[in-house]
Amino acid sequence: MRFLQLLSRRHQVGGPDPCRLASIKHRQFQPAIYTWIGHAKPLQFTLQPHGMRVERGRAEMEMQITDHSLDIGAVFDGTAERCTLYLGNHFIVPQVLRRKGLASACLQAMRHCFQIGAFGRAAPRQAVYLQGTFEDEGAAFSRAMCNGVLPTKAAPALVDELRFERAQRCLTVDIPPVELKA
């Protein structure tokens, strides 16, 4: 009996669970185009999703906006009910484009792109937590986004939903994120 147990252990296959691997889906998307209207001047920008991984109702998507000298990169990770928005070193809004609400509108566009790409629909009740390392102007912006709380990598903070709602009113979707078929 002991010999059979040892023999069966030698033939066990290592690595990830095949059922789990089968549940992971990778998706690629064409760029999405949004228009933000601030101070009656429209500004159109392109949001480039860099891929998405979906596993059992949980999704992760990296995306970037680089139009008009904007350099905003983010990663969304979560479900339709709750997600974390990771902002890294790429959150640059040039001085000439720092109009009230543009940065919030860019984050709202990213949130919308994540929801449409991952879940096929907008998820208005999704709680968004901001996470990252913020200094100087980035710290002031992230505090404003999170009701005065400074989010960190170790302690994400809940984003003020009213800011997203205000940003949504100034934002239109010209071309939604469209999945590329293999």
Asked which of 1-15, 53-67, 151-165 is least confident by mean pLDDT, the reply is 1-15
Query: How far is 76 from 150, CA to CA, in rounded Å?
Result: 19
DSSP of 106-167: HHHHHHHHHHHHHHSS--TT-EEEEEE---HHHHHHHHHHTTT----SSS-EE--HHHHHHH
Residue 8: per-residue pLDDT: 52
Residue 100: per-residue pLDDT: 74
pLDDT above 60: residue 125: yes
Residue 148 region, left (φ>0) first, then alpha (ψ -120 to 50), else beta? left
Residue 182: per-residue pLDDT: 64
Residue 110 · residue 74 · CB < 8 Å: yes
Closest to 132 measured CA to CA, from 109, 157, 164 = 157
Summarize pLDDT for 87-113 with one digit per residue, the tens: 876 678 887 777 678 889 999 999 999
Parse the chain into domains and list their residue ranges: 17-175
**Mean pLDDT, residues 76-96 taken together:** 86
Please report, rounded to a whole number, the percentage of residues in the chain having pLDDT higher than 90.
46
pTM: predicted TM-score of the whole model, two decimal places: 0.83
Residue 112: per-residue pLDDT: 94
Q: Which residue has the tokens 């071309």?
A: 175
Q: How much is the mean pLDDT over the chain? A: 84
First to last CA, the chain: 50
SS3 40: coil
Residue 1: per-residue pLDDT: 54
